[in-house]
Structure 1
Amino acid sequence: MTRPNPALHRARIAYFSMEIALQPDIPTYSGGLGILAGDTMRSASDLELPMVFVTLVSRQGYLRQRIGADGGQIDDPDPWDPAAHARPLDAAVAVRIEGRTVWIRPWLYLHECPHGGCIPVILLDTRLEVNAPEDRAITDRLYGGDEALRLKQEIVLGIGGEAMLRALGLAIETWHMNEGHAALLALSLLRHIENGGDLLSPDRLEAVRERCVFTTHTPVEAGHDRFSYELVAEVLGDFIETGVLRRLAGEDMLNMTRLALSLSGWVNGVAARHAETARKMFPGYQIRAVTNGVHVPSWTHPAFAALFQTLAPEWGHDPQVLRRADRLPEAAVWAAHEQAKGELVEEVRRRTGVALRMDLPIMAFARRMTGYKRPDLLFSDIGRLRAIVREQPFQLLIAGKAHPRDEGGKAFIRSLHGMAAELADALPVVFLAGYDMSLARIMVAGADVWLNTPLPPLEASGTSGMKAALNGVPHLSVLDGWWVEAWEEGITGWAIGEDRDDPASHAGALYAKLEGQVLPLWHRDRPGWIRLMRQVIARTGSCFHSQGMMRRYATEAYLR
């Protein structure tokens, strides 16, 4: 066991997230929420912010996706060894779960950036011999198990995480909850406020709110964790009175989002449109907007990084300088894209045996497989799609995991494989299993068009299109999430349909846009396509980054 790293002692801001993408071979993330948290960590390190991040160790990962003979998803564990990447600290705290004492130990992971910044990440672990066998597995599998296990994980994250930072002697001034999973930490703060009095006294509540920041990501009702008070009483015990919980988190069920809203003095959605949606879902709360961003050096292909170096040596630290990308030589931009595309084509061949063509555009759709993402929108009219491909051929790459308990999402994956077989004589459709951080880096750099088809207003933000934009890949998307802010028709990409129109019209609008604008530009006007790529980098890549996002959090939320 070792003593805490000095980076811990300077931490004044604690960022809690159920999942964080630390690096590709540490599977402590499931998708966009964790990728965002990882990019937040990387930019916090770049900017040398006094932060510490807290998450679960998730020893068995989220899931390792395989595709069966019937095109169905097979969920395998994705284990990793914390000792290979982190080190244990000389501390332990206990929480009460179902009347039992559950001990938690911390692992310390350090992220160091090229500029010298260092961010500590605390990974909470219950796999200890001192714990009951059923409690050792609490932190094993990200989002694993039933509602009871989810509540136990959130107790470990929120209550255990808050206690752990106190045990480590950290003087945390600001507590940032990334989604409602960590909302129980605010209850711990409420209990520990030293001004006494009733838990619901205005002064006590305000003292907690002054210290808490909450970012909500979910415009989908089912995405907000809710627990019956019967389950809460059984699992959480007498940690806090049920009457207090009902006042703060909802009368009928414990709504973790409402709990976080009630105890946070600064709340934001993750795009302007999402904040608007969240205000309608939770009237009476002031919900600001801080649009998500991506960590520019992490998602830029090396060939484009070399080009950006000619614009400004500090482009990764200050991505706003990428607004000059429209000055890059056209031949150099196309050469960089061809290198990235060639690597994607080779990766597809290595994984699947399918040989995609360099001389045809590759359209990519990669995101969590679930209903509101509408992964089947492009296949709404097979006859129309065949007609388009016959005149203006392209290739399609699809990737994404379904949550282990999302049977609808798994059905989409089987259906997509069926459609791929049906279209095999006309349109190459390849599903890449095991979508993760490593594969995402290859796809966002090597695709020609990035496709996004969510059902509005259910896309909170989305960041994959931002990553693609850094590599000159234009976005073709429904107007929702971040795209409402970035969209300039024909300049940064294209919209599918009109803003706030009938979603039933989106399939037709998608076919029309492909047939009339996207594919003709690629096939018939290569100089025009390259100019578009330069504009995408200059106007999107220079704006939607986690450096700017973290500067906003620092000045508006943390230093208020």
Structure 2
Amino acid sequence: MPNGGVAYFSAEFGLDESLPIYSGGLGILAGDHIKAAADLNIPLTGVGIFYKKGYFQQQINENGWQQQRYPDVNLEASVYPVQLAKDAEGRPIIIEVTIAGRPVYAKAWYVSLGSVTLYLLSTDVEANSESDRQLTDNLYPSNQDARISQEMLLGIGGARLLAALGIKPDVWHMNEGHSAFLAFERIRMLSAEGVSFETALEAVKASTVFTTHTPVPAGHDVFSIEMIDRYLGDYYWQMGADRDRVLALGQLDGAFNMTRLAVSSSSKVNGVSKLHGEVTRELFHRWMPHIPIQDIPVDSVTNGVHIGTWLADGMKKLYDQHLVSDWAIRTQEVDIWASVREIPATELWKEHKKAKSEMVQELGLPLTAFGEEPLIIGFARRFATYKRALLIFSDLDRLARILGDAQRPVCLIFAGKAHPADEPGKDLIRRIVELSREDRFKGRVHIVENYAMDKAKKLVQGVDVWLNTPVKPMEASGTSGQKAALNGVLNCSVLDGWWVEGYNGRNGWAIDGVTDGGSDEQTRQDSETLYRLLEDEIVPLYYKRGERAIPTEWVNMMKESIVSLTPVYNTHRMVTDYWNRIYVPATERGKRFRADNFEVASRVGAYKRFIRDNWSAVHVNKVEILDNHSSRIGLNKTAFIAKIDLGPIWHKDVRVEAVGSDGRRGIWRAKLELVQQLSKGLYVYEGVSPEIPIDVWRSNVNVRVTPISPDFANDFEMELATWG
């Protein structure tokens, strides 16, 4: 088994519809991530859970209500061979996790994908009680006891499994906060070797990275403190710390927040699009209000999709003919895709028509009444209310006119599941079924049952337009539109998630998603924009036929979409970004913190403890702003002079700066230099203004003191700041 490399933990993995242990975007992304790592020969080990009953099978009853069925996953039917992990003597590897004081045992299945192995834990073990055998039956149970048990199995059990396999990762990647208890287990392991809690925490943090996908507070797992005590109380002393110190890693608003734990135990945090990075900084700003949003240490790596999984066979053959021979392993090279512009319009349109025909046939859609090629718009994703499946139905009469034009027919196809506990989500499905039965929408609005990867592939390959209408900025990234784009399907989407980066004005259509007028006003404006786009641009362009009855301008737009989006929004580019920007630095940092018997980790742990214990003594006593002041720092510039009391903290362990608004939603910073020591711990700092009009910053400027260290992963690692 490989040492080093990356351990990638996720609560779900979508490799293929034949292994239905995923519920939606997070799992599909995780599956695409590890496939791309395998393609690129990146040393990575996946860790997840084998859900015996998978995600539910959806049936829609006569009244339009979603029904859930939970058949056992058929391992024999899996496209990817699933095998039991065994030790050198051929015995199944069994790990034990103490959950709420009782031992729970888990075995592991594994799937091999080239250089990558995915391990999946299961509690369906004879030594367990009947209820414990069922702990890993279903994804995302609504019951909090089952949920925390699964998360302990994933994080703690996953770390123990890797130890049992002899795998020692350089980097531990938490894909969402579900696996964050792995930090507890790694600290416990080090504590058992005699490493102190603060040192162990720094060593763990140095080699751990965290990707958050959830832009709303409600999307983060939260457990009561009483529940953490009940389930993990035995853990506190084993980690070498008292209860309060351990709980402080995840405590937020009187409860224990798994995202907070993940942030506290990671050296790098990233969102999944540029906009989501901004939204996450705003979200985390509530935890650390004394740090400006712009300074919250959150990076972003925009999601991509695995081209080999989502590309239609016909399109692949077309690319094989017209692109360089090794294009499939060079997908992130922009120049390679320029050749798509040279593909004859007739060939591209022919392949698209073929994919469309296959979709209609395989999904059993009764579209023959509309002739060969009605414009088909697809909307397929999880049915959550913020995704606004009903936005296109805001004005039923207007929509009926658009869909019902005999010369230019338009059809809508919907697909998706609602979480079993999400009644508003289920009601969206019921309402679409109800509308599809109205005479004016009959045959023009369809809903596809039991949405999964197999049906998703047909839809992203076969529709003409991919519709996405979330409430901005609640879509962290979204990847279904990227799958559509690489197949030549055009996006019409709210400028949220990845689309705000990808849209260039020529490769699809954009709905602004303005956010300043309240939700009703946003819905009104977005639906008006959508109808206008359909009436004035999308439908006319699709039906504008040139030579040989081909919509030449539409096909040119398809080419623009493929050329501009595919090289950027694919997982080869995404995983390369993770490797260069996140995995390699975390590998180096982790090794440095562990070296020489944890010398750096020990020093940083002690330093942070000293800073925390003495930070209350830091005060900004007096700030002066002097115009045209000739100081030892700069001649004839506006200067800042501040008296700072640092107490026992050394002056070289802090940064002092003036901070203010730049008037454009950004901030400026001007470093202040130490110019005089007045007495023990009391200093004078001076600095000059930035090159910004004085009336912009003068009304909104302050002086800030922050602790610094060359060993910190970022300037605000301690989340401390004192202001004047």
Partner of 1:516: 536
Correspondence list, 1:479-558, <5 A: 479-489=495-505, 491-497=506-512, 500=515, 502=517, 503-504=522-523, 505-525=525-545, 526-558=551-583
Judge conservation of contact 1:393–1:427 (CA < 8 Å) in 2.
Answer: no
Distance 2:71 2:474 in 1: 29
2:337 matches 1:312 = no
Distance 1:105 1:86 in 2: 13
Partner of 1:133: 130
Partner of 2:108: 106
Alpha-carbon deviation of 1:245?
3.7
Q: Once the two structures are aligned, what percentage of the paired residues are identical?
A: 39
Alpha-carbon deviation of 1:153?
0.3
Opposite residue 556 of structure 1, the aligned amino acid is R
Judge conservation of contact 1:93–1:160 (CA < 8 Å) in 2.
Answer: yes
Alpha-carbon deviation of 1:138?
0.9
Correspondence list, 1:167-186, <5 A: 167-186=164-183
Alpha-carbon deviation of 1:354?
5.6
Alpha-carbon deviation of 1:174?
0.5
Judge conservation of contact 2:400–2:441 (CA < 8 Å) in 1.
Answer: no
- The higher-RCO structure (CA 8 Å, 6+ apart) is 1
Judge conservation of contact 1:162–1:185 (CA < 8 Å) in 2.
Answer: yes
2:70 matches 1:50 = no
- My pick for the range that moved more, 268-277 or 315-324, is 315-324
Distance 1:501 1:356 in 2: 43
Local SS of the residue matching 2:281: helix
Partner of 1:68: 61
Q: Residues 516-554 of structure 1: CA distance to partner in whole angstroms, max 9, x if unpaired? A: 111111012511001011111111112100000000111
Judge conservation of contact 2:94–2:108 (CA < 8 Å) in 1.
Answer: yes
Distance 1:322 1:40 in 2: 22
Distance 1:370 1:404 in 2: 11
Whose strand fraction is larger, Structure 1's or Structure 2's? Answer: 2
Partner of 1:210: 206
Partner of 1:559: 584
Local SS of the residue matching 2:269: strand
Gaps of 5+ in 1: 1-7, 112-116
Q: 1:423 to 1:493 in 2, by over 3 A?
A: farther
Alpha-carbon deviation of 1:422?
2.1
Judge conservation of contact 1:214–1:260 (CA < 8 Å) in 2.
Answer: yes
Partner of 2:629: none
Q: 2:188 aligns with which of 183, 188, 191?
A: 191
Instruction: Say which one has the larger Rg.
Output: 2
Distance 2:152 2:498 in 1: 32
Q: How many residues align?
A: 543
Distance 1:269 1:212 in 2: 15
Q: 2:159 aligns with which of 162, 165, 169?
A: 162
Q: 2:467 aligns with which of 445, 451, 457?
A: 451
Alpha-carbon deviation of 1:209?
1.3
Opposite residue 514 of structure 1, the aligned amino acid is L
2:27 matches 1:34 = yes
Q: 1:508 to 1:236 in 2, by over 3 A?
A: same
2:145 matches 1:148 = yes
CA root-mean-square deviation: 1.7
Local SS of the residue matching 1:27: coil
Alpha-carbon deviation of 1:88?
1.3
Distance 1:515 1:224 in 2: 40
Judge conservation of contact 2:367–2:443 (CA < 8 Å) in 1.
Answer: no
Correspondence list, 1:106-125, <5 A: 106-111=108-113, 117-125=114-122
Q: 1:168 to 1:330 in 2, by over 3 A?
A: same
TM-score, L = length of structure 2: 0.73
Alpha-carbon deviation of 1:492?
1.3
Q: 1:390 to 1:355 in 2, by over 3 A?
A: closer
Opposite residue 325 of structure 2, the aligned amino acid is P
2:351 matches 1:340 = no
Q: 1:356 to 1:269 in 2, by over 3 A?
A: farther
- My pick for the range that moved more, 399-408 or 284-293, is 284-293
Distance 1:34 1:323 in 2: 31
Judge conservation of contact 2:496–2:513 (CA < 8 Å) in 1.
Answer: no
Alpha-carbon deviation of 1:282?
0.6
Alpha-carbon deviation of 1:556?
1.1
Distance 2:129 2:442 in 1: 57
Q: 1:291 aligns with which of 299, 302, 305?
A: 302
Local SS of the residue matching 1:75: strand
Distance 1:511 1:539 in 2: 26
Local SS of the residue matching 2:35: helix
Alpha-carbon deviation of 1:208?
1.3
Judge conservation of contact 2:106–2:122 (CA < 8 Å) in 1.
Answer: yes
Distance 2:397 2:12 in 1: 42
Gaps of 5+ in 2: 87-92, 237-241, 289-295, 546-550, 586-724
Judge conservation of contact 2:567–2:573 (CA < 8 Å) in 1.
Answer: no
Alpha-carbon deviation of 1:222?
1.6
